[in-house]
Structure 1
Amino acid sequence: MMMAPFNFNNGLNLALFSIVFLSLSSRVCVEASSKSLARGWGDHFEWHSLSDGLELAAKVNKPIMVIIHKTWCGACKRLMGEFSQNKDIPKLAKDFVFVNLENDEEPEDNKYAPDGGYIPRILFVDSKANVKGRHLNEQGHHKYRYFYSNADQVFITMKKVLLTWHYHGDKIEPDGEGGQVYDEL
């Protein structure tokens, strides 16, 4: 049995083809965009720009992890390699919005450099771009509280961030500044 060729002259066929093509194209573009924003930090994570991350976090009510780094920075490259290969971070990634800021994308607002402009810095913020000061590297140097020298330190802080947010169905809601701790992960 011979099949009839797909006829674009039929308005319905053209409309259906357009819908399917656009939906597949947009998915490919989103995936390509997320991968291009990974910049070596892990293509298996969903990455966002700061503005898109803030908007998404407001919709899904998740904390934002902001990574600020430079392409020329040796410490950034070491942490990037560990972060992208870490086996534990993906377990928590679904509960965060990941934002990757490289080179000139670093915001000029001083709130993104609460204790200095060193790199790399990893900050945990809410959807209103408020840096959560209690979420810092407790194992790090007291002068560089948002500097992480290895991925295990990042994972520990990610767990602490989630412990200060509580779950209601599929939503994670921030607690007050006191950071009440709920069930351990």
Structure 2
Amino acid sequence: MKKITYFALIAITALVVYAFTNPKVDFKADTKEGIQFHKGTWEEALQLAKKENKLIFLDIYATWCGHCKKLKTKTFSNEKVGNFYNQNFINVALDGEKGEGADLMKKYNLNSFPSFLFIDNTGKVIAESKGYQNAEELIKFGKKYTK
């Protein structure tokens, strides 16, 4: 009985710590200073990329992913990142477990979160990266694919 109580106490403590260290993040909301993500469909993003002659920066995330939350609250909200990505790319963020995000996970054979892709207006992948990147790293990654 003591073992069960001990493990229950550890589990409850872990859940409390998790709840306080992993706050809810609104993946649909953008900060004023950071990256402004396209709010339309994937097809509309492809059309906009063609019209503006830009690559698409695609962020595929999961709402439970700690690195995805950190990207949204720290990196994507950074003013320098926002200025650079908003000027140079059509930015799209999709939940990889739902709708178009899940479809693109399959299409592009992705298997981890977060995943980043630079995609041309025909849907062809130009580059891919995975995992957390701070502001400097994300800008450096993006500069390789600006015109």
Q: Give the total of aligned pairs.
A: 115
Is 1:128 matched with 2:122?
A: yes
* 1:82 is the counterpart of 2:74: yes
Percent identical pairs in the alignment equals 27
Gaps in structure 1 of 5+ consecutive residues:
1-36, 137-144, 166-185
Residues 161-172 of structure 1 aligned to structure 2 (within 5 Å): 161-162=145-146, 165=147
Q: CA deviation at 1:55?
A: 1.0
Whether 2:96 is the aligned partner of 1:112: answer: no
What corresponds to 1:157 in structure 2? 141
Matches within 5 A, 1:91-102: 91-92=83-84, 93-102=86-95
SS at match of 2:76: helix
Q: Is the 8 A contact 1:148 1:154 kept in 2?
A: no
If you compute each CA radius of gyration, which structure gives the higher value, 1 or 2?
A: 1
The TM-score, its normalising length taken from structure 2, stands at 0.66
Matched residue of 1:148: which SS? coil
Task: Please tell me the residue identity of whatever aligns with 2:38.
Answer: W
Distance 1:84 1:42, change over 3 A: farther
Higher relative helix content: 2
Cα offset for 1:67?
0.6
**Contact 2:60 2:94 (8 Å CA) reproduced:** yes
Instruction: Return the letter of the residue paired with 2:108.
Output: Y
Q: What TM-score do you get using the length of structure 1 for normalisation?
A: 0.54
Choose from 22, 28, 31 the match for 1:42.
31
Which structure has more RCO (C-alpha within 8 Å, separation ≥ 6)?
2
Gaps of at least 5 residues in structure 2 are: 1-25
